[in-house]
Amino acid sequence: MNKELRQTLISSTPGELGFVMPAETARHAACWMAWVHDDHPDTWGKDIATVQNAFVAIASAISQFEPVRVIAAPHAFKLARRKLPGHIDVIALDQDDLWFRDTGPLFVQNANGQTIGSNLVFNNWGGKFPLEPGDRDVGEKLVSNLGLPYFQSPLCGEGGGLISDGRGTVITTETCFLNSNRNPGMTKADVERELFHAIGARKVIWLPGDENEWITDGHIDGVLTFTRPGHVLFEDNPDSENPHQRVCRENLKALRRQTDANGNEIEITLMNEAYLYHHESEFTATSYVNCYIANGGVILPSFGTPETDDAAVETFRKAFPDRQIAQVDIRDICWNGGGIHCMTQQQPA
């Protein structure tokens, strides 16, 4: 069947064939991650061992709920294998850094459960850093390794820039996908057309994003997450002295009264981001919704600020009453601009 599907993809796109990106709450076959190694000392500095230990803690937490498979560059394979628990698979494959939500493939499925690897063009977040071959090609190589059909979209962007409800509704930001550093000259209609072809998006909800967020240009996975079709957890910043409050409120205003692909109004539950946590890095990511929704669990970041950490756990418990909430300290990683969601990519069951 995969051979027939590969042939069909020559003349048709996943969207045209009825494939849709599943919601992150759907059942997973595995969670994919990419090992962090020390090829670029300017990225992680002398604390690379600390970062690797934090990576192991996150992978281990997810592995309590579903299989975790870690891609490691061949030269870093032995170290990754030694540091990670034995029940976590390690696969040797060229890759450059740990932000696998953005460098890895997206997965789409049809009603029969067939899966396609659908890849966007990754240009290192708008060409802000040198593009390594490993991160450019890892999506296609992983899909090939899995023996799945593969679709390459001409659209430039990252997985962290998209949130799907699994029924054709996708939420994204203008500052990311409409940015001239990714898709120069493309209109909303152009992007929506390519998102339909790549991941089956029937309705795209556009939020303004964050023009001040330099690395990702305002990825949506630091703003909200679907808990079920028609309902999102949305992060606010209650500190009127913090310039990020304005960004949060503008995005919230744009989301209110929006409807999904089936015409139902999106329900919004507000929660606070980790606004009490401060780090000297200007890139620090302080999002709780930048989490991993696993089979039977949610891996939630903690920032060592009990007031917001505890409140986030309670909010997620109410939103996911059938899942266990597990918190993992993200402080050794979040200062470099990302979180747990940025490090992971779910493969649907």
Instruction: State how far the Cα of 280 lies from the Cα of 322, in Å rounded to an integer.
Output: 37
Q: List C-alpha distances in Å: 303 to 206, 285, 311.
A: 29, 10, 12
Instruction: State how far the Cα of 228 lies from the Cα of 178, in Å rounded to an integer.
Output: 27
- DSSP string for 80-146: HHHHS-TTSEEEE-----S-HHHHS-EEEE-TT--EEEEEEEP-HHHHTSPPPHHHHHHHHHHHHHH
**Residue 214 has which token pair?**
């330099």
Q: Read off φ and ψ for residue 186, nearest 5 degrees.
A: -80, 140
Does 342 participate in catalysis according to the annotation? yes
**Residue 240 has which token pair?**
């009127």
Of the residues 156, 176, 248, 342, only one is catalytic, namely 342
Instruction: State how far the Cα of 230 lies from the Cα of 77, in Å rounded to an integer.
Output: 42
Query: Which residue in the block uniquely carries the two structure tokens 């929704």?
Result: 293
Catalytic site positions: 342
